[in-house]
A = this chain, B = another copy of it.
Amino acid sequence: MPDVVSIDPRTAAIAEVVSSTTTPQEVAALCVAAAAAALALERLGRAGRAAVLRSMADALESRGDDIISVADRETGIGPTRLGGELKRTCYQLRLFAEVLEDGGYLEATIDHAGDTPMGPRPDLRRMLVPIGPVAVFGSSNFPLAFSVPGGDTASALAAGSPVILKAHSSHPATSALCFELLLQGARAAGAPEGTVGIVYGQRAGSALVAHPAIKAVGFTGSLGGGGALMKIIAERPEPIPFYGELSSLNPVVITEAAAAERGDSIGAGLVASFTVAAGQLCTKPGLVFLPSGPAGDGVVAAMTAALAGVSEQVLLNERIFTDFGTGTAKLRATPGVAVIHQGAATATAGFHVAAQLVQVDAAELTGDSVDEHFGPVTIIARYTGIGNLERVLGELPASLTATVHSVTADAEYVAELSTLLRARAGRLIYDGYPTGVSVAWAQHHGGPWPSTNSLHTSVGPTAIRRFLRPVTWQDAPAHVLPAELRDDVKDIPRRVDGRLLPAIG
């Protein structure tokens, strides 16, 4: 089997050989082990799985410096951001432990036997149970928070579903180290063998998705990569849910009054948002609507000024580097596109780039004329009046986010824009920037196709719902019921005879 190598994006040199690619036989063995572990993982119970998640966080933290060091060498993200990412992923593991203790995610529901307007009803008790082993495809851009450890892994394990990870080719050494620590954490807390597994190589990933033991797929990546996995799923005898986060332009609308009132800070904020992490965040503002005229000109000037202070950056891998070069060259050569800022990277080796800013007339945009570009570039679209703006917003592909900057006097117009944007995004941001996705109960990271194909978030507690299915027990003796559905339970929220009862104690 070919070697899996770790490449340093700052030099494009091979830093180490991490592993060989996983063979189909090895993939099958991992799937069988995951299926065998499923029942024991569920039977650890909510407290037992909470301990596993916390133990995993502890294990990751115990080798934090090593993780950050190898991840930095492999991704070029830098130790500060990577430190934040590690903190985030450990916070997330522990938050899912709290979600388990809360128990509301189970949707535990009891209807006691009795007479109803429809006649006598049996005793019915409903709860969500784990869906079974889950395949998780990590992203390139969050090696610690959306990869081997991350929201998909944490939420699937919390649900009680074993996880088999597909290591991203862009950071295999980080993946291997993090996996080793997840495994160590799992074992220390008494999780069954097979709770976590890992595969390397694209063909191993395909074999994983095709395997009958796999019951759901979590994916963060490109529309193309997601499409290929959806095709494999469509050919399975048993279709399974595919939770993909795929593509997002994240439009930002600046009203005339907001541009006039605080153009400088908006310009600086936009540059910070589209260049953070070298513009490789899924929530990067990729299309910014600015009014034509002096107020908008002021924002452009502020952006240009801010860009002077942005150093050249290193992209995650060769594909992203090459795509950035060809994509932005094509963009700059498009009729009607004016180049506002085009830095040049000075480094001669590795995947270094400088930020770019281009401008178009919103009247010339159509919904399919704007592509997502991974990397530090954004497109300014200048609009006159709201007609063209609303037409283009109505035609754009849906995104994870949409943002509006306005002033108090814009209230009516902002309400109208909100309605339009809500149809095309999963998160609406006011007077802020789309990058930075808090891990919180009220978070939603997901949007209509093509941003995701899911009706669920991939960040925050409700992500757990993706890996659960309902079961109802009818007239069941108490001993076969899950503990949470027995009569005397008070420590989790339950809906009993139609009434939602909060947890007591």
Contacts and interface: CB of A to CB of B under 8 A. Distances in A.
Q: Specify how many copies of this chain sit in the oligomer.
A: 2
Nearest to A481: B418
Contact of A118 (B87, B125, B441): B87
A468 B426 CA distance: 12
A476 B414 CA distance: 10
A470 B441 contact: no
A474 interface: yes
Contacts of A121: 438, 440
A477 to B, nearest CB: 6
A88 B230 CA distance: 38
A158 to B, nearest CB: 15
Nearest to A216: B455
Contacts of A474: 427-430, 432
Interface string A475-505: 1110110000000000001010110111100
Interface residues of A, number: 77
A438 B470 CA distance: 16
Nearest to A482: B422
A418 B446 CA distance: 36
A129 interface: yes
Given A118-B91, A415-B480, A472-B426, A124 B440 contact: yes
A104 interface: yes
A279 to B, nearest CB: 21
Interface string A386-430: 000000000000000000000000010011001100100111111
A24 interface: no
> Considering the complex of A and B, which 6 residue pairs feature the smallest CB-CB distances, nearest first?
A444-B472, A124-B442, A126-B442, A109-B442, A111-B442, A444-B470
Interface of A: 39, 87-88, 91, 98, 102, 104, 107, 109-111, 116-118, 121-122, 124-126, 129, 131, 230, 234, 238-241, 411, 414-415, 418-419, 422, 425-432, 438-444, 446, 448-450, 453, 455-457, 462, 468-477, 479-480, 493, 495, 497-498, 500-503
Given A411-B477, A430-B475, A431-B475, 5 more contacts: A39-B419, A110-B442, A121-B440, A126-B462, A442-B472
